[in-house]
Amino acid sequence: MSVLRDIGLVDSALSVYDGHRRRQEMDRTVKTARDFSGVLVQCHECDRSTPALPPYTPSNWNGVVIVDGAPSSEDWLYGRDLGRDGPLQLLRGMLSGAGVDINRCYLTSAVKCFSVKRPMSHHIAACSPFLSFEIHRLSSRARCFVVMGEASLRAIIGPDVSGINRYERSRGMIGGVPFLITQHAGVCSQNEEVAARTLEAFKEFFNDAD
């Protein structure tokens, strides 16, 4: 496990992408989860033409924020249905094995719209004000962040970062809140060894975050 430097909210890659402007606009106008969803679906900043998918916001939030790369086709078709099969169920099981209920986690993504194409830097940049807004709003009450996959890694650490394997299981702080970097749940579902490593990382991380 490697330890990354503490990332201040002002110095994070999210701020580099958007220069605070659009996030600050949302700070003034967005007051509720419904407001945020409304701003999301009105975005037309890039070529990912499907509607943006709002985050899953539980009423009994446990302080855990999970940031994945981008919505899957199933997410786009069915919304963030936590009961369906697939990688999400594997993630549910791994979190449960670490003592965390996924139904009480805040689930969001670095890139907000579905596309069959892999998220590129300009997609991450277009969505960064939204993720920046979420992290700023949540950081005062968050227990920890879980950053899953390369798109999320690049959104938070920097646009030139590549190679999730290099950063897998690394930890850091953003705005004083601990975060863990892991492989995407889809990768875990295809590789039992990666899934086992991720489960162990979850156990260690959530134990330390208590």
Q: How far is CA 7 from CA 4, 63, 101, 195, in A?
A: 8, 19, 27, 27
HSE value, Cβ hemisphere, 13 Å, CA-based, for 203:
9
Confidence band of 75 (pLDDT split at 50, 70, 90): low
Q: Are 177 and 111 in contact (CB under 8 A)?
A: no
Q: What HEC string does 121-182 produce?
A: HHHHHHHHHHHHHHHHHHCCCCCEEEEECHHHHHHHHCCCCCCHHHHCCCEEEECCEEEEEE
CA distance 111 to 67: 10
User: To the nearest whole percent, how much of the chain has pLDDT over 90?
Assistant: 30
User: Reduced to 3 states, what is the DSSP secondary structure of residue 58?
Assistant: coil
Domain ranges of the chain: 3-209
How many degrees, rounded to 5, is the angle at CA 155 between CA 25 and CA 116? 105
Count Cα neighbours of 164 within 13 Å in the Cβ-side half-sphere: 22
Confidence (pLDDT) at 10: 41
Q: How many CB atoms lie within 10 A of CB 177?
A: 21
Mean pLDDT of 25-47: 80
What are the pLDDT digits (tens) for 144-182? Answer: 999 999 889 888 887 777 778 888 998 888 878 899 999
**pLDDT value at position 62?**
96
Assign a CATH topology to domain 3-209: Uracil-DNA Glycosylase, subunit E (3.40.470)
Tens digits of per-residue pLDDT, 36-46? 888 887 877 77
The one-letter code for the residue type at 153 is L
